[in-house]
């Protein structure tokens, strides 16, 4: 290593899980392994833009409330920045920064021409009416009109945001543009420029990544079990598609708690139940377990598809799974990495495992620009091909560097983005 290559500093891990620190610890390790130049390291470690906005809203009760909104652009080296918008009470700038960087690495690995971004509003959507949510979404969009655009920054759904909100974003942006601009946002309803297969895409990608891993391990899906944490869009679809491959789903959970059944849970039935009742609460799909117990239950595959920092140094030692497929963004804190590695558990990292969503977002953006829409088989076949290519790329990188799939993913992404950055050069 020359003086001018990046050297990993002493870990600044403070023990409390913070997604930005988790991201940076992996980034630092990967940067050292691939001998990233110090200047490029400095460029890529920070987002190029961080915007914080105030969102005043006249609530249904006539009172004025002000919410805080964020949009962080990590970079636009490979193309316009891309990334979802989440609504949650604990959204903060550090989380946005981590998630925006993850989007950059995810897009690079998936081989789609986007940089990374993330946005969010600090609010509790469960306490807001439809009209309040609409006002927040439209005001958020109008405050970011100079940032959003089909050629600049393209939002999408994330935690607690949905197709309806994407439709409001599209409409608000279009009203200001004096024309309909469908390509400004992805994850829209099908009838206004959405893509077939988009709602299921992240879960389908999780399934494809799992099948790739099982092929490498030489394991027959019909012989194994799986536990899925989280039963939202990602968890429920992953569980359904994995069960269709013959894998027995022995545990599922949501915010209300989880269920374990060694004989397997009927996933279509569980999906029906949640549709009718809003959650898994009181569903009796097996014996009751907590979300923490689910992570440690007896299953060959663990799919954490809920939220960040679920697997930490505190519980990593108790995990029995042999394969972890990260459906959520950042479900494993960096302080758990070495424990998991020591235990010989294979981890398909979030920036590979859950990239199906942004891959089909890319297809949606392409279709909007073409004005020509593909059938579902076409979308799913292309997704399958791109996920498999991404998996192989990461697998090969991990082999070449004799490291984990997680670091392999970071190395490939950082190397690619920094190569493009060098080719484009620094303007100024």
Q: Give 288's contacts (C-beta < 8 A, 6+ positions apart).
A: 257, 258, 259
Query: Is 182 an interacting residue with respect to ligand GLU (CB under 6 A)?
Result: no
If you ran DSSP here, which 8-state letter would residue 149 be given? B
Residue 204 found at the interface with ligand GLU (CB under 6 A) = no
Asked if 158 is part of the footprint of ligand GLU (rule: CB under 6 A), the reply reads yes
Asked if 335 interacts with ligand GLU (CB under 6 A), we say no
- Report yes or no: 229 and 304 within 8 Å, Cβ to Cβ: yes
Number of residues forming the site for ligand GLU (CB under 6 A): 11
How far CA 167 is from CA of 67, 353, 362, in Å, comes to 21, 27, 17
Q: Measured from the CB atom, is 171 or 308 closer to ligand GLU? A: 308
Site for ligand GLU in 70-109 (CB under 6 A): 82-84
Q: Minimum CB separation from ligand GLU for residue 84, in Å?
A: 3
Mark the segment that binds ligand GLU (CB under 6 A) among 131-139, 305-313, 353-361, 370-378.
353-361
Residue among 238 and 354 whose Cβ is closer to ligand GLU: 354
Per CB under 6 A, 170 contacts ligand GLU: no
Q: Are 334 and 26 a contacting pair, CB within 8 Å? A: yes
What minimum distance in Å lies between the beta carbon of 186 and ligand GLU?
A: 5
First-to-final CA distance of the chain: 29
Catalytic residues: 118
| 307 is a contact residue toward ligand GLU (CB under 6 A) | no
Bridge partner list, 52? 70
Q: 161 near 155, Cβ under 8 Å?
A: no
The CA angle 275-277-283, to the nearest 5 degrees, is 105
108-127 per-residue burial string, b: 16 or more CB within 10 A, e: under 16? bbbebebbbbbbbbbbebee
Binding of ligand GLU by 329 (CB under 6 A): yes
Q: Segment near ligand GLU (CB under 6 A), from 264-272, 354-362, 402-410, 412-420?
A: 354-362
Using CB under 6 A as the binding rule, whether residue 321 contacts ligand GLU is answered as no
Rounded to the nearest whole angstrom, what is the least distance from the CB of residue 326 to ligand GLU in the complex?
Answer: 11
Q: Contact at 8 Å (CB) between 421 and 40? A: yes
| Contact predicate 153/172, CB 8 Å | no
| Cα–Cα dist 209/15, whole Å | 30
Q: Segment 211-240, which members bind ligand GLU (CB under 6 A)?
A: none
Least CB distance from residue 187 to ligand GLU, whole Å?
6
Whole-number minimum distance, CB 283 to ligand GLU, in Å?
Answer: 27
Residue of the chain from 125, 235, 258, 357 that contacts ligand GLU (CB under 6 A): 357
Choose among 199, 270, 187, 197: nearest CA to 228.
Answer: 270
Q: Rule CB under 6 A: say whether 186 interacts with ligand GLU.
A: yes
Residue showing the smallest CB distance to ligand GLU in the complex: 84
Cβ 11 to ligand GLU shortest distance, Å: 26
Question: Is the CB of residue 116 less than 8 Å from the CB of residue 105?
Answer: yes
What residues line the site for ligand GLU (CB under 6 A)? 82-84, 156, 158, 186, 329, 354, 357-358, 361
């Amino acid at each position: 290593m020359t003086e001018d290559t990046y050297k990993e500093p002493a870990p600044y891990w403070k023990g409390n899980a913070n997604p930005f620190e988790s991201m940076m610890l992996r980034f630092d390790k990967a940067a050292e392994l691939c001998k990233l130049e110090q200047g490029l390291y400095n460029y890529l470690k920070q987002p190029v833009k961080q915007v914080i906005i105030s969102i005043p809203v006249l609530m249904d009760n006539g009172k004025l409330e002000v919410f805080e909104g964020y949009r962080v652009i990590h970079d636009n080296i490979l193309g316009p920045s891309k990334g979802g918008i989440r609504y949650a009470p604990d959204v903060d700038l550090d989380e946005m920064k981590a998630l925006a960087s993850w989007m950059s690495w995810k897009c690079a690995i998936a081989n789609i021409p986007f940089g990374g971004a993330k946005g969010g509003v600090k609010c509790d959507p469960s306490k807001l009416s439809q009209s309040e949510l609409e006002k927040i979404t439209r005001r958020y969009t109008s405050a970011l009109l100079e940032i959003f655009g089909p050629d600049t920054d393209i939002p999408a759904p994330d935690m607690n945001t949905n197709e309806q909100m994407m439709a409001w974003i599209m409409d608000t942006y279009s009203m200001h543009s004096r024309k309909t601009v469908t390509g400004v946002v992805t994850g829209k309803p099908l009838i206004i420029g959405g893509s077939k297969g988009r709602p299921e895409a992240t879960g389908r990608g999780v399934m494809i990544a799992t099948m790739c891993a099982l092929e490498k391990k030489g394991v027959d899906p019909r012989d194994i079990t799986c536990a899925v944490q989280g039963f939202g869009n990602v968890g429920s679809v992953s569980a359904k598609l994995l069960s269709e491959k013959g894998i027995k789903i022995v545990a599922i959970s949501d915010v209300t708690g989880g269920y374990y059944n060694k004989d397997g849970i009927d996933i279509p039935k569980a999906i029906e139940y949640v549709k009718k009742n809003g959650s898994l609460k009181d569903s009796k799909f097996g014996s009751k377990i907590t979300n923490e117990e689910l992570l440690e239950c007896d299953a060959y595959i663990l799919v954490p598809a809920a939220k960040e920092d679920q697997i930490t140094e505190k519980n990593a030692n108790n995990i029995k799974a042999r394969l972890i497929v990260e459906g959520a963004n950042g479900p494993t804190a960096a302080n758990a990495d070495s424990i998991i590695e020591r235990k010989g558990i294979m981890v398909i990292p979030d920036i590979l495992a859950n990239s199906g969503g942004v891959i089909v977002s890319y297809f949606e953006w392409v279709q909007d620009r073409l004005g020509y829409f593909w059938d579902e088989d076409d979308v799913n076949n292309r997704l399958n091909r791109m996920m498999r290519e991404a998996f192989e790329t990461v697998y090969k990188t991990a082999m070449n560097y004799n490291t984990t799939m997680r670091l392999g993913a970071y190395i490939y992404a950082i190397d690619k983005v920094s190569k493009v950055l060098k080719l484009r050069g620094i303007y100024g």
